[in-house]
Structure 1
């Protein structure tokens, strides 16, 4: 079968012909219909992500596909069921094996590209805002990178939870995408973010997948007893937090890594995904997939992320 693999960290990922996998105990074999890309895929290709496997390996962290075969000890999901699953790798291929207990049946109303790009982005924002930040209705949520893969879902979920949402995005096109997703106010990333957020009353919760100067600007605009969630560092700059500033305004900085729950509380992820899929069926969430490309253009799909030319999700369809 065809797969898009990292052979070494020093060379770009490449298309390969590999043997089709066989499901081991506790696994299912999927015919992969769609694979959602994430910023973490870029880091994995360089060997700098916290959960990078040893080469060679197939990129692609989250997929939607149809069950073709079951490993020993697996009775569900049944063969022929369309499921979504976060496997951490293996998605940029025609077939793949994934843990059966992490598979979730996809509603008939949800397309495979929507399902493939749904899990990490929506799951991250949902757990971060509900479990970690405990966002309350009536609070003001500031979302950095508000037109990106996770940022856009934070805008949607924040609105669904009753918050006033301020989205920060770069350029008129991306600002319009954030506005269309439900942001009450949008700010250009090139503007004086601190001043503009303060003029809107400040932020009670900050959702930051960007880091760097954006994090610093957001901290200055955070209200007393505000909560700042660090999701990632797309800017490439991990900010150093001055602890004395936290004391002055009683600010809490919260770390959040969605994939970490796979190791210590996977049930929280599947429960969260169940609620989110219910919201999707109810029409409360409308995933934004800006680009859908075939497997042959996997490198182009990753470049869209690297160059920040995408909004929402980029999906590859093997």
Structure 2
């Protein structure tokens, strides 16, 4: 007779933290997950509500889990082994100084997108302690609200509106704005074109977006991405730039003279996006690098004359 024991049942039998760490790591490695050791500790930390360091300390000290905790770890491991994103399994995604609520239907914010927030805040060029009046900005395709919240919290004198059209992402956005917005972030449900149609011309200081930019034929390699991230957050026409073209046109009308447009994109798209921005009446278009040193961000300034200008090389 063959005895079959599934992952959840196996893990619930092993209460020592050290044994749990090893078994979770083995199960994730068998599922083809890179950095299975790191993910095992992150999974245990998330389920137990402690830090990775505390997981490691409990392992060294020979501590045990309760039966309920072991079962919860087993259930979470089984989900991750099926290649559900770790952030979905734990229900949160770290971003800057926040732990954002995420789950099915919302794009999981990536660490490299923190560079988009940093660039947007720097480009605004305002000392948060100055007496100049409040600025106004929008985050187009906000998803979890990561970028809008990050900009508002880092800058201090800008009121952001997070725009999202997905009914699946909407509850996550509202929950995160309530938790981290501190009264400085509004939400708008609807598509970008509708949102821009109600923005008074020349009234914005910032338009920022992590838009869909993947060419339609290029399916991401990561199973977690193509099975769980919303398609509308990934793909945008044959070259991946359809939405960015529209965004540049809308932003040209909505931004004040000197206002800033900044977007995230693939590392091969910078030159094309700089030209798109110039054609839409922007100047000082420049491509910037993210935390990994790749050309992933392009910004431009709304010209005083309304006529576009030359782009600049990549800014390190």
**TM-score bin, normalised by smaller chain:** 0.3 to 0.5
Structure having greater relative contact order (Cα 8 Å, sep ≥ 6): 1
Determine which structure has the larger strand proportion and give its number: 1
TM-score (norm 1): 0.40
Determine which structure has the larger helix proportion and give its number: 2
Pair member with larger Rg: 2
TM-score (norm 2): 0.40
